[in-house]
Structure 1
């Protein structure tokens, strides 16, 4: 299998706070990686380092065989990204936004315009192609973000809570889309707090906690090694969080005035 991403001894600190503490990863073409962990575990930092959105790390990050510190950033044209919180230019229409993004990836305007409209039609929002993004619902905005991440046909996709705000039918389409992409050799990093989705779509699950990888394998491998029935149970065991029932009961008691 072709190695797409290679990470060696990756460490990153913000001031005196150590966020990543020696990450080692080999990611291969066609993998769907479920990249999970508690808030503050280092997931977003890892992704932002790979994307070149932040720098100042120690260790090695190779994309397509090249250390990213030694490139001119052209590798980014082969990557798509859906952040957890999207900053859309709300004064723009979807047409203006998507053609702008496509041109950043080096595409021709007419090609982007054609693809963007057709993709919006498929996702049921084509009628709003020329409407300002400020008028869009959360689900419509999420669809635009997903389109912006795939319009240039990238080799690697980084998706952070990509199903947020989507209706049930759209969720089914996106899940199927990811499976089809992987079958065509695209590599997908999928990060979510919805464990059931990660469990179902990922062929490999990586769990990071406090800046280190604490689990790496298929769901079946993780389930077998930890004697747990669900990814949520494995997650709670490995991250040491077992207060959910007690805290829920406390909330109920407060709400009920006890």
Structure 2
């Protein structure tokens, strides 16, 4: 792992309101080269909003965001060439074949068609997708499409990755391969923002975990450091404690009791 000395990204007092509601409430964050950041929080905590701001997809925020030393509010989009992104709900062009889609995305990043096609073909082979190289994405399973999206985020060899629920729909073997890809990319100095609800996975691969609750960072540190500030053991248990959600057993019990109520038949 690279030493955490080269700052890749910083957020300074980032605040945002949407529809009269405060979505982000003064986010401060510094991220360094080679870190795998597990970016977690309940639904609606502001995780996707923060990522979209850093990607330049939302500009109605207050505060300062710097990526690769550049204030993204300057209007210069060149920093985006060094970013890869897998959104939680991606809209791929389903009428394109897998190779057509990958070449299209690569060309948006400035790669030549010939290089993009050759590199995409090799990457698809490693994900066991060679046989469907020329098949339309509309016929792909969720897991197959997710592999294509992951390849599309890496084709141009970015320095900063934003992956939002990247393992959605993948089988256990593919998940293991992609976990190892993340670890090896970080070891080569790539910086990874990783958002997932699979807590044991975040616990396993992240060297730093940032927990967002109601638009505020409530925890930021290694898994071991988070353990020290909590009475709980696993990341899932720490998550529940720090987000104030301790009612899961009681709620589950009520749900099951309703399911098992005596039936009334027509």
Residue 17 (structure 1) aligns with: 21
2:92 aligned partner = 88
What is the count of residue pairs matched by the alignment?
258
Match of 2:139 in 1: 135
Q: Structure 1: how far apart are the matches of 2:161 and 2:62?
A: 24
Match for residue 202 of structure 1 among 203, 206, 222: 206
CA distance in 1: counterparts of 2:160 and 2:104, whole angstroms: 20
Unaligned ranges ≥5, structure 1: none
Question: Residue 71 of structure 1: CA displacement?
Answer: 3.9
Q: Given the two structures, how large is their TM-score scaled by the length of structure 2? A: 0.96
- Match of 2:193, SS state, is strand
Alignment of 1:83-232 (within 5 A): 83-232=87-236
CA distance in 2, matches of 1:31, 1:227: 26
Query: Is 1:237 the counterpart of 2:238 in the alignment?
Result: no
Kindly provide the CA deviation profile for residues 132-180 of structure 1, in whole angstroms up to 9, marking residues without a partner as x: 0011111100000000000000000001111111111111110000000
Aligned residue for 1:36? Answer: 40
Secondary structure of 1:23's counterpart equals strand
In the alignment, what sits opposite 1:249?
Answer: 253
SS in 2 for 1:226: coil
RMSD: 0.8
Q: Report the 3-state secondary structure (helix = DSSP H, G, I; strand = E; otherwise coil) of the residue aligned with 2:170.
A: coil
- Unaligned stretches of 5+ in structure 2? none
**CA displacement at 1:54 relative to structure 2:** 1.0
Q: Measure the CA separation in 2 of the matches of 1:123 and 1:107.
A: 21
Moved over 2 A (4+): none
